[in-house]
Structure 1
Amino acid sequence: MDKNEFSKDGHYAVTLRTADNRLRPANIYVHRLEDDYMIARHTSGPDVGLLIKLRYDDVVKIVRTHPVLDRKRFMIPEALLKPKLWESRDSMRAYSSAPGLGK
């Protein structure tokens, strides 16, 4: 996969390749796109809410794209998405909200 197949504030059902070379399904919400990776949020499963640095090569297949309404977009401070912060980390727990959901 490459950067052109994803969009900021997009919600995707994907197949990911894990570090031990296994395939697993995941639902992600993309917050930011960089040249080599994206910052995404798990929206289901045991890692729900976890922000991750996800390389495009780790995404094997996009299964489904979900439209995201303006009122359901996740809001997160821009400072938490800056590339300098993500140089030395692969994941981060951060709370964000969707104003339309009353959170």
Structure 2
Amino acid sequence: MLAPDGDVQCWGAAPRVDAAGFHALSVATGYGHACVLFAPAHGQDPVSNVVCYGDNGVGQLGLGTSLEVASRPITRDSALGGFVQLAAGHDFTCGVDTVHQLFCWG
């Protein structure tokens, strides 16, 4: 759940999301993973404004298929200006960047 102040709250079998100090704009959730679109912090590269957490059995965290449970920021070499929208399915996530290019992982 995305709180009005930009805090991300999860419960149940949801992944633990550590978003302290960042303002979340939206959250996209799949079966066992969640991806958070953050407002870039001051001085942060705006291209790395998505972080995914949870199951990564088929690459749904954007890190290949390693079994990490929390990702570093998603960066796509061709994503310009960062992501502006996210959507997730069972085992995948897609993001749209500032020039309306679509990127999917998982």
Asked if TM exceeds 0.5, the reply is: no
Report the TM-score range of the alignment, normalised by the length of the smaller protein.
0.3 to 0.5
Which structure's residues are more often strand, by fraction?
1
| More helix per residue | 1
Q: TM-score normalized by structure 1?
A: 0.37
- Compute the TM-score of the two structures, normalised by the length of structure 2: 0.36
